[in-house]
Chains A and B, each alone.
Chain A
Amino acid sequence: ETGVTQTPRHLVMGMTNKKSLKCEQHLGHNAMYWYKQSAKKPLELMFVYNFKEQTENNSVPSRFSPECPNSSHLFLHLHTLQPEDSALYLCASSRVGGPEAFFGQGTRLTVV
């Protein structure tokens, strides 16, 4: 285990559903990230939070809404998703400016 825990591991949701992904880190880091990994594509950085403040949003559609209540927890709220949003969603954490990020196991999301 890397010290970054994601729940749920698998999620199937309809296009009209609302669901949330959760990420928790026990490493004392102060930066957290959401990534999307689709088949045959490189990892795509979605959001970055440093010290609970969002510092990066890489043109992510508003149907993805992140929330970072503290440096240890990160959520990704999902609503009215599309089938092309099906992917592995990875959370990571690091020290702000640190060279290495630690990843969670990911949530495999399927939108039907």
Chain B
Amino acid sequence: KNQVEQSPQSLIILEGKNCTLQCNYTVSPFSNLRWYKQDTGRGPVSLTIMTFSENTKSNGRYTATLDADTKQSSLHITASQLSDSASYICVVSARAGNNRKLIWGLGTSLAVNP
């Protein structure tokens, strides 16, 4: 069964600290993995998209890693800011013939406190 699991479910950190969010998936055949940031009451915004051959990808203070062998990904946030408070969702795309099916995780709710 195609599934995406994220941990932790929620996280509270102090401003300026780093944190790492985890995503484990059992999706096959794998096409790509995406991390989205979703502010409360708003739509998700893409942070990174990673394909099978990519191990690390950075977008400013966000760095995503992918281990296609163990089917794990992480999102590392450096020097957190109050505006980083949001839900971070891992999404894995599965190939289905000529189509792709997106498997969404439940997200990690991050709160950055001053």
Of B13-21, B39-47, B65-73, B78-86, which stretch is located at the interface? Answer: B39-47
The answer on a CB contact under 8 Å between B106 and A41 is: yes
The answer on a CB contact under 8 Å between A104 and B41 is: no
Q: Decide yes or no whether A103 CB sits under 8 A from chain B.
A: yes
Q: Which of A45, A88, A100 contacts B46 (CB 8 A)?
A: A100
A38 shortest CB reach to chain B, Å: 11
B37 shortest CB reach to chain A, Å: 11
Chain B residues lying within 8 Å of A43, measured Cβ to Cβ, are: 44, 89, 104
Task: Report the nearest B residue to A103, measured CB to CB.
Answer: B43
Number of A residues, CB within 8 Å of B:
21
29 contacts between A and B (CB under 8 A): A2-B43, A2-B45, A4-B43, A40-B106, A41-B106, A42-B4, A42-B103, A42-B104, A42-B105, A42-B106, A43-B104, A45-B102, A88-B41, A90-B43, A92-B43, A97-B98, A97-B100, A99-B49, A100-B34, A100-B46, A103-B44, A103-B45, A104-B43, A105-B42, A105-B43, A106-B41, A106-B42, A106-B43, A108-B41
Query: Bound complex: CA of A65 vs CA of B48, how far in Å?
Result: 33
The answer on a CB contact under 8 Å between A99 and B32 is: yes
B110 shortest CB reach to chain A, Å: 17
Q: A42-B106, A90-B43 are in contact. List 11 more A-B contacts (CB 8 A).
A: A2-B43, A2-B45, A40-B106, A42-B4, A42-B104, A42-B105, A43-B89, A90-B44, A100-B34, A102-B46, A103-B44
Task: Report the nearest B residue to A108, measured CB to CB.
Answer: B41
B binding-site residues for A, Cβ under 8 Å: 4, 32, 34, 41-46, 49, 89, 93, 98, 100, 102-106
Chain B binding surface SS class: strand
Chain A residues lying within 8 Å of B34, measured Cβ to Cβ, are: 100
Within 8 A of B (CB), among A26-71: 40-43, 45
Chain A residues lying within 8 Å of B102, measured Cβ to Cβ, are: 45
Query: Bound complex: CA of A108 vs CA of B93, how far in Å?
Result: 26
Residue interface mask A70-112, B partner, CB < 8 A = 1: 0000000000000000001010100001011111111010000
